[in-house]
Amino acid sequence: MDSYAILKLVWAAILGILFIGLGTMVGMDMGVGTLLRFVGRNDGERRTALNIVGPHWDGNQVWFILGGGAIFAAFPTLYATSFSVFYVVMILLLFSMILRPVAFEYRSKADSRHWRASWDVAFLVSGTLPMFIYGAAFGNVLEGVGYHFGWTGQYYQDESFLSYLVNPFAILCGLMSVALSVYQGGVMLMLRSEEPIHGRARRYAMRGGVAAAALFAIGGVWISRLNGFRLTDANPGMPANPIQGQHVTVSMGGWLENFHAHPALWLIPLLGIACMLLGTLMVRADRPVLAWWIGAGSWACTIGTVGTAMFPFLMPSATMPDQSLTIWNSTASAYGLACMLVVAAIFVPIILSYTSWCYYVMRGKVRTADVIHDTHSY
């Protein structure tokens, strides 16, 4: 395999890690947003919940920004095409993502009940909707998307937005993503809160974990009845251009063929189910630290399962399968990928160390009485 193909593979793996980080870290904050009105029965309790993620949500959100940036830089064709064909949901995702920073900063800066109640609704929407869309996007991509390319490289959409908005399989994936985020958010609240928030968060985290395991299992059965895509001939080192150069076949259950070819890969989805169930047990046993890491494991196995099933596809085209976007035909140039790899190798360790240090500085329980009197808090 030539070096360009290896670079493409490395970046596909990095994309997977970013998706896992995004699910875990952003999902956790989103889960807190979703649960805000349920774990906090009065204003002080809600502020406590908000301040648990208060010092970190901004840094966590960068996983999301960075995910977008990495797709743009390493998979420009995927970025250009997916963001445009999913226009309606992308715009909705964007609206809910820009609502969150403002909600955090503004909610507690005025005393009016209406003001705070409105921002609480903003938290609910901006916590639930993005996670739903995140999961649903994976569902839609698994089913194949209707688009093709013209000779200049411009994409053309071949299906109405309703087909990806009202899609039962995508809705299932969306719900699963919300369930995982409720689990992770609940666990984070348990980590840094006291009663009564702690107990409520624990109940919701358990429900989230069980729901995620159930939806994941249903999705697994469902996918064997879906059309999957197979690459019949392609050169991994090909120039990154989706217009021509590969052949694709479509068959029912095709997404399971990678698993059939390498049975050891079944371990990934099995481990995923195991993580979701074991995590729920850890929440029940009131071991939030362990439950948090097992939750991260659930995300890793979920993304890993989707990635294994689809490999090497990134976004198959249902209407012109030969122009499907794959790891081989939609990356940046070899030079661009190598450059970005060097930059990532330098900065990711730095980022991880200062992020951990920030958690260390802000460690400890957040108490409602402190939050109410601290003028810096949210």
Partner 1 sequence: MELINPDVVDLSRFQFALTALYHFMFVPLTLGLTFMLAAMETVYVVTGRQIYKDMAQFWGKLFGINFAIGVATGITMEFEFGTNWSMYSRFFGDMFGTPLAIEGLMAFFMESTFVGLMFFGWDRLSRPAHLAITYLVALGSNLSALWILVANASMNMPEGAHFDPDTMRMQFDSVVKVIFNPDAQAKFVHTSVAGYVSAAMFVMGISAFYILRGQHKAFAARSFRMAALFGIISTVAVITLGDVLGRLDYEHQPTKIAAIEGLWHTSKPPFEPWLAFALPDDARQENHLEIGVPFVLTPLVAHSFDTPITGMTELEEQAGPHIASGIQALSALRRYGQGHDPADLAQFRAHEADMGFGFLAMRHAPGQDVTAISAAEMDSVVRQTEPDILPNVFVTFWSFRIMVFLSLWFFAVFALSAYVSLTNRLERNRLLLKLCMWSIPLPILATEFGWITAEAGRQPWTVFNRLPTFLSASSHGVGYMIFSLAGFALLYSTFIAAELFLMFKYARLGPDHGAHGAQGPHLTVAHDRKDAFSIASSLSS
Give the footprint of partner 1 on residues 146-175 (CB under 8 A). Answer: 150-157, 161
Q: Which is nearer to partner 1, 220 or 336 (CB)?
A: 336
Q: Which of residues 169-208 bind partner 1 (CB under 8 A)?
A: none
Minimum gap (Å) between residue 256 Cβ and partner 1: 31
Candidate residues 77, 193, 323, 324; the one interacting with partner 1 per rule CB under 8 A: 77
Candidate residues 17, 38, 44, 76; the one interacting with partner 1 per rule CB under 8 A: 76
Q: Which is nearer to partner 1, 49 or 215 (CB)?
A: 49
Q: Which is nearer to partner 1, 80 or 274 (CB)?
A: 80
Q: Count CB-CB contacts under 10 A for residue 117.
A: 13
DSSP characters for 253-279?
TGGGHHHHHSGGGGHHHHHHHHHHHHH
Cis peptide upstream of residue 312 (ω within 30 degrees of 0): yes
From residue 170, alpha-carbon distances to 21, 59, 114, 161, 260 in Å are 21, 29, 35, 13, 24
Say which amino acid occupies 53.
Answer: V
DSSP single-letter state for residue 166: S
Minimum gap (Å) between residue 42 Cβ and partner 1: 21
Q: Which is nearer to partner 1, 105 or 286 (CB)?
A: 105
Q: Which is nearer to partner 1, 2 or 105 (CB)?
A: 105
Which span (3-11, 104-112, 131-139, 190-198) binds partner 1, by CB under 8 A?
104-112
Candidate residues 6, 62, 274, 290; the one interacting with partner 1 per rule CB under 8 A: 62
Q: Which is nearer to partner 1, 196 or 335 (CB)?
A: 335
Candidate residues 13, 117, 166, 339; the one interacting with partner 1 per rule CB under 8 A: 339
242, 85 Cβ separation under 8 angstroms = no
DSSP characters for 53-110?
HTTTHHHHHHHHHHHHHHHHHH-HHHHHHHHHHTHHHHHHHHHHHHHHHHHHHHGGGS
If binding means CB under 8 A, how many residues of this protein chain bind partner 1? Answer: 78
Candidate residues 66, 171, 265, 274; the one interacting with partner 1 per rule CB under 8 A: 66
Shortest CA distance to 27 belongs to which of 128, 175, 136, 173? 128
Q: Which is nearer to partner 1, 3 or 333 (CB)?
A: 333
Minimum gap (Å) between residue 324 Cβ and partner 1: 15
Q: Does 280 bind partner 1 (CB under 8 A)?
A: no
CA pair distance 311, 306, nearest whole angstrom: 8
Candidate residues 24, 34, 48, 81; the one interacting with partner 1 per rule CB under 8 A: 81
Q: Does 349 bind partner 1 (CB under 8 A)?
A: no
Minimum gap (Å) between residue 123 Cβ and partner 1: 14
CA pair distance 319, 146, nearest whole angstrom: 5
Candidate residues 9, 230, 336, 367; the one interacting with partner 1 per rule CB under 8 A: 336
Candidate residues 16, 69, 146, 237; the one interacting with partner 1 per rule CB under 8 A: 69
Which span (28-36, 237-245, 254-262, 264-272) binds partner 1, by CB under 8 A?
237-245
Q: Pick left, alpha or beta for residue 245 (phi over 0 → left; psi -120 to 50 → alpha; otherwise beta).
A: left
Candidate residues 2, 41, 102, 262; the one interacting with partner 1 per rule CB under 8 A: 102
Q: Does 267 bind partner 1 (CB under 8 A)?
A: no
Say which amino acid occupies 64.
Answer: F
CA pair distance 13, 162, nearest whole angstrom: 31
Q: Does 274 bind partner 1 (CB under 8 A)?
A: no
Burial class (CB in 10 A: 0-12, 13-18, 19+), 56: middle
Q: Does 59 bind partner 1 (CB under 8 A)?
A: yes
CA pair distance 27, 46, nearest whole angstrom: 18
213, 280 Cβ separation under 8 angstroms = yes
Candidate residues 109, 247, 260, 365; the one interacting with partner 1 per rule CB under 8 A: 109
